[in-house]
Amino acid sequence: MSSKHSSTSKSATRFASDAVEELGWWRAHRLLILRRLSQLSVLSLFAIGPFLGLWLFKGNLSSSLFLDTVPLSDPLAILQVLMSGHWPELSLLLGAIIVVGIYALLGGRVFCSWVCPVNIITDLASWVRRTLSLPRTSEIPQNLRYYMLTLVLILPIFTGFTVWEWLNPVPVVYRALLFGASSGLWVLVVIFLLDTFVVERAWCSHLCPTGALFSLIGKVSPVKIAAVRADACNNCMDCFTVCPERQVLKPVLKKGSTQPFILNSDCTLCGRCIDVCAPRVFQYKNRFNSKYSNRIPLKVESKL
């Protein structure tokens, strides 16, 4: 058996074992656990209102009021209202502007990995695929989600309604958990089955219009993941295995690359590449830090 095949088998049976051995279990799973805590904490902040009467947040991720003062609104929901020919209340517009500002600063798709509850379902589907060693299926076009975003914004023009909000899985989760409205849960089942058995990472990486919008917002963000120690890469491919948007890794690991920052706004900033990398190639960095503007040639082969 060749060393390459042995490495592949090891990766399949003990994913990220090198990171666990080198860094310890906690450091190899730290950001994953923190993301779960973040997602559940956001949900809990909304839940303690109806369940405990402590109203830190009123509403849900589509539209809410923080401490009865600060409005927060889903920018995609507000855009749909505008496209339907209706003018939303000033507080809703202000809420959308605040949310856009937050995610433009932090990185647009940080919403997808650190806040969105659907991410738990899609990550579970990815884990099932990896555990069952299911073959990689043919990928659908990466930019399909932008066509979905366009469709979501066009439909209100012809219908006069925010059609997407009837199916949007994010408010479906919140309606089910906070108010017992379980009629839309079939959408989550479809997403899980689609991601597990049809197309890998189909929903978040290829179809979700919310992710498409936050990807556009995140283009200006200073917060990026950088391959600051790319010369230490040992080609284990664990980062490619776990990354929900593996295409964003190729430019920074390609032989001869002088750009350490993952500038592709499809990156969700989930940090799993940081977790599973034993040589500690990746870190969160400020893209405007000139310290990382140049780097030495890499050992990663051009076959990536």
Give the DSSP H/E element, type plus range, for residue 146. helix 144-159
Q: Token pair of 91, please?
A: 């507080």
Give tens-digit pLDDT for 126-167.
999 988 988 876 677 878 999 999 999 999 999 999 999 888
Q: Which of 235, 264, 240, 241 is closest to 251 using CA atoms? A: 264
Mean pLDDT within 162-179: 87
State residue 149 phi and psi, 5-degree precision.
-60, -45
Q: Structure pTM?
A: 0.86
Task: Measure the CA–CA gap between 16 and 79, rounded to whole angstroms.
Answer: 41
Give CA–CA dist 181/128, Å, rounded: 27
Name the pLDDT band for 54 (thresholds 50, 70, 90).
confident
pLDDT at 8 over 90: no
Q: Is 251 left (phi over 0), alpha (psi -120 to 50) or beta?
A: alpha
204-263 residue pLDDT tens: 999 999 999 999 999 999 999 999 999 899 999 999 999 999 899 999 998 777 889 999
